[in-house]
Amino acid sequence: MRFLGNIIWLVFGGFLLALGWGIAGLLACITIVGLPFGFQCFKIASFVIWPFGRDVTIGNFGAMGLIGNIIWIMLCGWELFIGHIIAGLILTITVIGAPFGMQHFKFAKLALMPFGADIYSVNRPYNY
């Protein structure tokens, strides 16, 4: 089911969303100061292109990660957070869109605090 969800996600917008994050990462990497922000954009792009079967935890950052997250939130994080929350709410109105809305809620967490976020694979056995 994860594979099918990822394929549907990829075809209906996941590729364009990941491409946008990749381009944002390239633009951020133009300057030395923007390198950490560009790397976070690449991390988010790799998560956005294939989100089903993966999850994110927030909060493993130090002092520099805290500063990076504060700058990120002030520049673009809160807009991305609101955008993903709205997209998630719209998609969860229907039963078919609910799994895709849940993915946007995961992206909303990552859009607020990418520094120190850990993206990991979820290997849960199926319950029959």
Q: Identify whether 10 is part of a domain.
A: yes
pLDDT value at residue 128: 44
Range of the domain at 67: 2-121
The distance between the two most distant Cα atoms of the chain, rounded to a whole number of Å, is 52
At 118, the amino acid letter reads D
Residue 37 resides in a domain: yes
* Domain membership flag for residue 128: no
Statement: residue 126 has pLDDT above 60: no
CB-CB contact of 21 with 42 (8 Å): yes
Alpha-carbon torsion (25, 42, 34, 63), positive or negative:
positive
Q: Indicate if the pLDDT at residue 127 is higher than 90.
A: no
Encoding tokens for residue 36?
A: 């950490």
* 46-62 tens-digit pLDDT: 999 999 989 888 878 88
Per-residue model confidence (pLDDT) at position 125: 57
Contact (CB, 8 A) for 85 and 105: yes
Q: Does the pLDDT of residue 123 top 80, yes or no?
A: no
Our count of domains for the chain comes to 1
Q: Can you state the angle between helices 98-112 and 35-49, rounded to 10 degrees?
A: 170
Give dist(CA 66, CA 38) in Å, integer: 16
Residue 68 lies in a domain: yes
Burial (CB < 10 A; 0-12, 13-18, 19+), residue 122, is exposed
Residue 126 lies in a domain: no
User: Residue 1's pLDDT band (boundaries 50, 70, 90)?
Assistant: confident
Structure pTM?
A: 0.81
